Amino acid sequence: MVEAYFPENLPEALRILGDEDVIPYAGGTDIMVGKSFKKPFLYLDKISELKKVENLEGKIRIGACSTYAALLRDERIPKVLKESIRQIASPSIRNLGTIGGNICNASPAGDTLPILYALNAYLRLESENGFREIPIREFITGVKKTARETSWLLTEIIIPSGEYEYSYQKVGARRAQAIAKLSFVGIHELTAGIVSDIRIAFGAVGTTVLRDQKAEKELIGKKASDIDIPATIQYYEKIIRPIDDQRSEAVYRKTVCLNILREYLENELTEGNRQ
């Protein structure tokens, strides 16, 4: 068995991915926690196309192998995404770990995922035979499961450029190095007190990120001060179905999610809160 591949550019990487059974290696921070590897690594770090960030026609196209540290230094990245990245692991892991890795791992607790769902992120997947761009919610299909076929590579994460009013909360056992017990993001736009846009997402309380567009539609067009908060909480109370695991318990997760949501609707859903 060839023990590793070191492509120098994207076409070469896609060719190998089409022909061989390999593990794409981006930052490696999650892969290397494993102890034995049955397939060779496909190293992606020499591929400059995967580390570019571009702002084109109102969209930011983030190369999938951009490290967290690089994104924190990039002024084009929206503050709400940076806020979640700043709370990932530790400085040394943020120097290696990549946003594409966070997505392809598809952990229910992946820290950037609720933000990317709320931003309606699209993912660009490429193979030797072409490309496609799909919403992130169609890409992540379950716990550690994605729609990526083995010959496809995640090459870009596409989000709208610009800033939002937002509130982000990650609840973990400690501030650094913690895997989320749960996370919350609310982003919104208010126009003269009217909710013109709102997106609410929860992480680590289901197999994938929980975002309910029906509930959001109920809030859009209403005056922020007229929102029926108890009814909204009651709605989310029914659809948030977390589990007990080594990091937390279902009852804790649900209670805290609803408390954070209430706090957001009561106090954060205001104008001029672009942090």
Partner 1 sequence: MIEFELNGKKVKSERPASHRLLDVLREEFRLTGVKCGCGEGECGACSVFMNGELVNSCILSMGRIRGQSIITIEGFRETKRFAVLQDAYDKTGAVQCGFCTPGMIMASEALLSRVPDPQEEEIRDALSGNLCRCTGYNMIVDAVLLAAKEGKGIW
Contacts with partner 1 by CB under 8 A lie at 3-4, 6, 25, 28-29, 31-33, 37, 40-41, 43, 45, 69, 89-93, 95-96, 175-177
Beta strands in the chain (DSSP E): 4-5, 23-25, 41-43, 53-56, 59-63, 122-127, 130-135, 140-142, 145-146, 153-160, 165-171, 182-191, 194-203, 210-211
CB of 74 to partner 1, least distance (A): 16
Nearest-angstrom CA–CA distance, 119 and 195: 16
Which CB atom, from 90 or from 196, has the smaller least distance to partner 1? 90
| Bridge partner residues of 124 (DSSP) | 133, 156
Which phi and psi angles does 153 have, rounded to 5°? -125, 135
Which CB atom, from 85 or from 190, has the smaller least distance to partner 1? 85
| Bridge partner residues of 191 (DSSP) | 194
Which CB atom, from 147 or from 176, has the smaller least distance to partner 1? 176
Which CB atom, from 29 or from 248, has the smaller least distance to partner 1? 29
- The 3-state DSSP class for residue 74 equals coil
Nearest-angstrom CA–CA distance, 171 and 183: 6
CB of 224 to partner 1, least distance (A): 33
Which CB atom, from 94 or from 254, has the smaller least distance to partner 1? 94
- The 3-state DSSP class for residue 265 equals helix
CB of 135 to partner 1, least distance (A): 31
CB of 39 to partner 1, least distance (A): 10
CB of 30 to partner 1, least distance (A): 8
Which CB atom, from 18 or from 40, has the smaller least distance to partner 1? 40
CB of 217 to partner 1, least distance (A): 39
Count of C-beta atoms within a 10 Å radius of residue 124: 18
Nearest-angstrom CA–CA distance, 199 and 196: 11
Q: What are 236's two structure tokens? A: 């989310």
CB of 36 to partner 1, least distance (A): 9
Count of C-beta atoms within a 10 Å radius of residue 86: 15
- Angstrom CA distances, 249 to 47, 64, 241, 246, stand at 42, 33, 11, 8
Which CB atom, from 101 or from 186, has the smaller least distance to partner 1? 101
